Structure 1
Amino acid sequence: YLRTLATSDLVLLRQLRDRIGLSNAKFAATAGSVLGEDTFKFIAALGIKLRQVYGSSEGGMISGHSEDDILVETLGPPLPGVEVKISNEGEILIKSDYAFSRYYKNPEATSEALKDGWWYSGDAGNVNKHGHIIFMDRVSELGELRSGEKYAPQYIESGLRFSTYIKDAMAVGDKTRDFVTGIIIIDFENVGRWAEMNRVPYTTFTDLSQKQEVANLIRADVERVNGTLPEVARVRRYVLLHKEFDPDEADLTRTRKLKREALEERYKDLIEALYAGEKEIEVEA
Structure 2
Amino acid sequence: MEQQFNTIYSMFCNRVQETPDIAAYCERLNNQWQPTSWQSLKDQVEYFASALMAHGFSKGDTVNILAGNRLVWPIADLGTIAAGGISAGIYPTNSAGQCEYIFKHSECKVLVVDTLDQLNKILPVSQSLELIIVKDPVDKSLDKVIQWDDFLEKGKANPQYLNTIQKMTENSDPEDIIIIVYTSGTTGMPKGACLSNRYVLASCEALKHTVDAINAAIPDVYKQANEQPESLSFLPYCHVAERISGMYNRMYLGVTGYLVDDITKLYPYMLEVNPHSFAGLPRFFEKIYAKIKNDIETENGYDRDAFYRAVEFNKQVKQLNREGKNVPIQIQQAYENAEKNIFSKIRGTLGNRIMSLTSGAAPIPEDVLHFFEYGANIPIYEAYGLTEFLCGAFNTPDARKPRSVGCPMYGAQIKIASDGEILFKGPLLFSGYYKDEAATNEAIDADGWFHTGDIGKIDEDGFLFITGRKKEFIKTSTGKKISPLLLENLCKRNHVISNVMVFGDFKKYLTALITLNPDELKGYAKVNQIEYNTYEALTQHPEIIKMIESIVQSVNAQVSRTEQIKKFRVLTRDFSVDQEEITPTGKVKRKIVTARFKDVIETMYA
**TM-score under structure 1 normalisation?**
0.59
Which amino acid is 2:571 matched to?
F
In 2, Cα distance between equivalents of 1:103 and 1:167? 33
Which amino acid is 2:494 matched to?
S
Contact 1:183 1:239 in 2 (8 A): no
The answer as to 2:579 corresponding to 1:245 is no
Pairing of 1:12-31 with structure 2 (within 5 A): 12-21=342-351, 23=353, 25=355, 28=356, 30=358
Partner of 2:338: 8
Instruction: Indicate the SS of the match to 2:362.
Output: coil
- In structure 2, relative to structure 1, the CA distance for the partners of 1:179 and 1:98 (3 Å cut) is farther
Partner of 2:555: 221
Deviation at 1:215, TM superposition (A): 6.7
- In structure 2, relative to structure 1, the CA distance for the partners of 1:136 and 1:118 (3 Å cut) is farther
Partner of 1:70: 400
The answer as to 2:604 corresponding to 1:270 is yes
In 2, Cα distance between equivalents of 1:104 and 1:167? 32
Q: Deviations over 1:144-201 (max 9, x none)?
A: 4265956334x53343143378787541122x247644467998967x96xxxxxxxx
Deviation at 1:10, TM superposition (A): 0.8
Pairing of 1:120-269 with structure 2 (within 5 A): 120-127=450-457, 129=459, 131-135=462-466, 142-145=472-475, 149=481, 151-153=483-485, 156-163=487-494, 170-174=501-505, 176-177=506-507, 180-182=510-512, 218-224=552-558, 226=559, 235-239=563-567, 244-247=570-573, 259-269=593-603
Which amino acid is 1:222 matched to?
N
In 1, Cα distance between equivalents of 2:354 and 2:443? 41
In 2, Cα distance between equivalents of 1:40 and 1:150? 27
Instruction: Indicate the SS of the match to 2:604.
Output: helix
Contact 2:433 2:439 in 1 (8 A): no
Where structure 1 has 5 or more consecutive residues not aligned to the other structure, the ranges are 194-203, 273-285
Contact 2:369 2:379 in 1 (8 A): no
Instruction: Indicate the SS of the match to 1:271.
Output: coil
Q: Deviations over 1:208-267 (max 9, x none)?
A: 968xx997775223324x3xxxx79x73341366xx4335xxx96699979433544334
> How much is the aligned-residue C-alpha RMSD, in angstroms?
4.8
Instruction: Indicate the SS of the match to 2:449.
Output: strand
The answer as to 2:369 corresponding to 1:40 is yes
- In structure 2, relative to structure 1, the CA distance for the partners of 1:264 and 1:76 (3 Å cut) is same
Which amino acid is 1:266 matched to?
V
Q: Deviations over 1:11-49 (max 9, x none)?
A: 232244345246362xx3635423522553443232123
Which amino acid is 1:238 matched to?
K
Higher helix content, 1 or 2: 2
- In structure 2, relative to structure 1, the CA distance for the partners of 1:270 and 1:58 (3 Å cut) is closer
In 1, Cα distance between equivalents of 2:490 and 2:449? 28
In 2, Cα distance between equivalents of 1:164 and 1:61? 27
In 1, Cα distance between equivalents of 2:362 and 2:488? 15
In 2, Cα distance between equivalents of 1:207 and 1:15? 33
Q: How many residues align?
A: 242
Moved more, 8-17 or 159-168: 159-168
Contact 1:160 1:222 in 2 (8 A): no
Where structure 2 has 5 or more consecutive residues not aligned to the other structure, the ranges are 1-312, 314-330, 529-539, 582-587
In 2, Cα distance between equivalents of 1:218 and 1:104? 39
- In structure 2, relative to structure 1, the CA distance for the partners of 1:10 and 1:254 (3 Å cut) is same
Q: Deviations over 1:28-79 (max 9, x none)?
A: 3635423522553443232123322334564463222232443343211335
Partner of 1:103: 432
- In structure 2, relative to structure 1, the CA distance for the partners of 1:159 and 1:128 (3 Å cut) is farther
Bigger radius of gyration among the two: 2
Q: Deviations over 1:60-118 (max 9, x none)?
A: 63222232443343211335762321563x642223x4353843986544322211425
Instruction: Indicate the SS of the match to 2:502.
Output: strand
In 2, Cα distance between equivalents of 1:56 and 1:266? 33
Contact 2:423 2:451 in 1 (8 A): yes
